[in-house]
Amino acid sequence: MKKLLSLAATALVAMSANAAISDSDFANNDYIGEWGRLKVQGTHIVSEKGEQIQIKGWSSFGWQNNWGDCHSEGAIQQMKLWGANIYRGAMYVEEDGYNSNPSGFTQTTKNLIDLTAKYKMYYLCDWHILTPGGPLDQRYSKFRDYFKEISQYVKDKGYHHVLYEICNEPNNKDGADGSWGTIKNYANQVIPIIRANDPKAIVVVGTPQWDQRIDEAQNSPLSGYDNIMYSFHYYACSHKGLLSYYTNAVNVIPVFISEWGVANFDGGQRQGRNIDDNCKDGARALMNEAFANKTPWCCWSFGEKEEQASAVTSCGSMELSPSGQFVVQNFMGGCLDCKIKQSDCYVNECQHIPGILDLGLYDQNPDGVAEKEGGLTVVGAGEGVAYHEENTVADEQNDGSLCNGAYKWGGEGFNFRPDECVDASNCYGLTNTEGWHNLGYIEPLEWEQFTVEIEEPGYYTVEALVNPTTNQELSITSRTYGENLLVDLDASTPTEPALLPSISFSTNLKDQGNDNWKFWEWETAVNNLDDLEDINAGILFKEAGKQTIRVSWGAGGSKKETAAKGDFGPLNIKFKSAYTGEGYSELQSVKAAKADDVTIYPNPTSDVVYATGDVAKIEICNIAGCIVAKSASNSINIANLANGTYIAKVTLGNGAVATKTIIKK
C-alpha cells in the first residue's frame, strides 16, 4: 500500500496535545455553514471569507466487500463527533473497485457526498489509483466519465462542500509511469472536466512516489489554475525520514496531507493493532508541523481491518483501536468518550424488500451489553436503540426476569435473543412459516427498527400474518430520511403520493381460545378511521439501497375495540409499480446552540461552576477531552479537581456549547 524512501531521519519535535484541543461542540457544528466554499489563498486553505482554518478528518479504507471499511451514516456521525470536519472517500479504481461496477461505485460516491452535506462536513472525492501507479494507464481511462458525472451531480445539487483528489499515490512500480511530468499531463486533462461544472472547487493533485516526493511539485508546480493543492502522504512508524519534504514544501506550495497514519507504510498489517513510542513520536513530529501551518489532513483509515492504521476495532461497535484513540485524543480533538447510538442488521444479515419482513429479526445494537442482576437480565441490549418495549401487561411478568417485565418467549427452548426484552415468538401452525417470528403483547408506543436493503424504488403492497387475537395499528417510517413511508395506492400518482399516517390490521378469524396461536392468515391493511372502509394501503420507497425503517405501534385496529391487543406476524412487502418522482429531501437540522446562549461563571472558579440558560447538564473535561465531572443541573461542584484549564460543556435543549474554564484555588 505504501512504500518507504531511504532517507536520513529528521530531528523530531514533540507535539503538545494542547495544540489539537478544540472547545467546539462537535456533534452540532455546521462547518459548511460557517466556512462556506473553501479556497486556496497563498499556501493555505481558507474559508469563503478568507479566514485561515484547519481541515481535518479521516479517509475511508475502501468500499469493496470485505475490506473492513466503515462508511455508514452512523460512521459519518461518529467521526464528526470525534472531531472530523472532512471525510475522504477512497474510490479504488482497480482492486475490485470502480472498474468492477462503475455505476454502483459512482452511486456510492454520490451517497457519501449527500451524507457529508447532511452532517455539514466537507468531502474529499478521491480517485484511488495504486496498482498500476500511472494515472494515464488505460485501466484508469474512465476518469473523464467519473469526474464529469460527479461534478455534474455536485452542480445539480448546488453543493459547495466537495473537494477533488484526482490521483492517489502515483508511482513507478513494475514499470508504471507515475512521473511528475505524466501527473501534470493527466492533471491538465482532468481539471478542466471538473471546472466545467464546479469551477471554484479545490483540486488536490497527487505527487510522485506514493505522494511522498512533493518536492517535485514544489520545483515545478502546475500553472494556469487557482485553488490547486498538492498531496503528501506520511506513515508515522516508518516515514519520519520523509518529513523534510513536507516542511520544505509547505511554505512554497499549498499542501494537503490527504493520507497519514499511526502505522507502518503498509498499514501495519504484520504488527496487528499495536503502536509503540516510535510510531507515536513520528505522528507527533508530523502533527506538530501540520497544526503550526494549519495544513489540512485526513488520517488513514476509518476501518476495522486488523492492522495498525485502522481507527476502530469494529464498524458496528465503533470501539477505537489504539491508533484511533491516539489520534482522537491528541490531534482530532473531539469528544473521545462520546459515541452515537446506532443499530444494524440482526447478525449482520439485512432483510431484503421485496420480501418477508420478519418482525423478530429487528436490528441489534452493536454497543448493547445486557446487564445482569442476580443472574437475571435487567435491561435488553437494544432498548431505546433497536426497539422500545412498554411491558405493562400483567401476563408479560410471568417469567421471573427483571427484563422490564417482558415475557421473553424466545421460540423453541426460550433461547431466541434471550438478553433482549421484545416478546418475540416463533410462528406455529401455518405451512411455510417455519423460521418466522411473531410479536406478542404489543402495546401503544412500542416500536422496532430494521435496517433493510431496498431492491428497487417504487410502490409496494403490504400484508401481515395475523391470528384471531390480532387488533393492531402501526406506522412505518424511514429513519434514514425522516419520512413517512405509508401511502394510499389508489390515490397515489408517480409524483404525488397520498400519505397515510398509519394503517391497521385486524381479522375475522374465529376465536380458537387457547389454540389461537395455531391459526394464521395473510390480511391486507384497512384504514385507521372509524368508517371501517378498506383502504389500498402500501409503502413508498423513493430510493433503492440500504436504509433503516421503523415500525411503530398505535392504539389498535379500527374493526374492533380501540385497545391494541394480540399477536402480530411478519409483513409481506411486494413490489407493485415503479416510482419516478423526486427523491428524498435533506433533513433539516435543529438550529445548533451558540456560545452566547449560555454564560458560565465564575471564571476562574475555586469550587462551583454555574451556567445560565435552559441547561440540561454540565460536563467538565480535562484538556485531553476526558470527562472528569458532570451534573444534571445548572451547577456543578469541582472543588476536588486540581488547578488548571478545563473545558466546560453545557448541554441545552437545542444542542451544546463548550468553553474553557479555569480552576484556581
User: What's 380-399 look like in SS3?
Assistant: CCCECCCEECCCCCHHHHCC
Can 169 be counted among the known catalytic residues?
Answer: yes
pLDDT in tens, 44-80: 999 999 999 999 999 999 877 556 788 877 789 899 9
The letter for the amino acid at 365 is N
**Are 31 and 121 within 8 A, CB to CB?**
yes
Give the fold, CATH level 3, of 35-47+57-328: TIM Barrel (3.20.20)
pLDDT band for position 88 (cuts 50, 70, 90): very high
Q: Which three cell numbers stand for residue 520?
A: 394464521
Q: Which three cell numbers stand for residue 417?
A: 435473543
Distance CA 662, CA 329 (A): 20
The candidate with the shortest Cα–Cα distance to 92, out of 60, 123, 119, is 60
Range from 7-21, 337-351, 384-398, 582-596 that averages highest in pLDDT: 337-351
Enumerate residues 6+ apart whose C-beta is below 8 A from 138: none
What is the predicted pLDDT for the residue at 181?
A: 98
Percent of the chain with pLDDT over 70: 78
**Are 14 and 286 within 8 A, CB to CB?**
no
Distance CA 140, CA 163 (A): 20
The candidate with the shortest Cα–Cα distance to 59, out of 112, 136, 138, is 112
73, 149, 165, 169: which one is catalytic? 169
What is the predicted pLDDT for the residue at 15?
A: 31
What is the predicted pLDDT for the residue at 245?
A: 97
Distance CA 516, CA 509 (A): 9
**Are 183 and 208 within 8 A, CB to CB?**
yes
pLDDT in tens, 295-335: 999 999 999 888 999 999 877 668 899 999 999 999 998 88
Neighbours of 76 (CB within 10 A): 23
Q: Looking at residue 571, what DSSP letter applies? A: E
pLDDT band for position 529 (cuts 50, 70, 90): very low
More confident position, 126 or 616: 126
259, 383, 523, 619: which one is catalytic? 259
Percent of the chain with pLDDT over 90: 44
What is the predicted pLDDT for the residue at 585?
A: 44
pLDDT band for position 568 (cuts 50, 70, 90): confident
Residue ranges matching CATH 3.20.20.80 in the chain: 35-47+57-328
Distance CA 483, CA 477 (A): 6
Rounded to the nearest angstrom, the gap between the alpha carbon of residue 466 and the centroid of all alpha carbons in its chain is 36
Range from 213-217, 383-387, 587-591 that averages highest in pLDDT: 213-217
Domain 349-361+407-578 has what CATH class? mainly beta
Pick the CATH number of 595-663 from 3.40.50.300, 2.60.40.10, 2.40.100.10, 3.40.1190.20: 2.60.40.10
What is the predicted pLDDT for the residue at 32?
A: 97
State the Rg of the chain over Cα: 28
Enumerate residues 6+ apart whose C-beta is below 8 A from 370: 377, 378, 379, 380, 381, 419, 420
Cα angle 571, 574, 579; round to 5:
125
Q: Is the pLDDT of residue 558 over 60?
A: no
Q: Is the pLDDT of residue 401 over 60?
A: no
What is the predicted pLDDT for the residue at 52?
A: 95
The candidate with the shortest Cα–Cα distance to 38, out of 1, 76, 2, 85, is 85
Instruction: Summarize the confidence of residues 410-430 as an average pLDDT.
Output: 66
pLDDT in tens, 449-469: 999 999 999 999 999 988 888
pLDDT in tens, 140-164: 999 999 999 999 999 999 999 999 9
pLDDT in tens, 472-520: 888 898 877 767 899 988 876 766 778 888 888 878 888 888 887 778 8
Q: Label residue 212 left, alpha or beta by phi (over 0 means left) and psi (-120 to 50 means alpha).
A: alpha
pLDDT band for position 470 (cuts 50, 70, 90): confident
pLDDT in tens, 182-192: 999 999 999 99
Mean pLDDT of the residues in the chain: 81
H or E stretch at 197: helix 180-197
pLDDT band for position 243 (cuts 50, 70, 90): very high
Residue ranges matching CATH 2.60.120.260 in the chain: 349-361+407-578
HSE-up (13 A, CA, CB side) for residue 557: 26
Q: Is the pLDDT of residue 612 over 90?
A: no
Residue ranges matching CATH 2.60.40.10 in the chain: 595-663
Q: Label residue 395 left, alpha or beta by phi (over 0 means left) and psi (-120 to 50 means alpha).
A: alpha
What is the predicted pLDDT for the residue at 202?
A: 98
Q: Is the pLDDT of residue 642 over 60?
A: yes
Q: Is the pLDDT of residue 583 over 90?
A: no
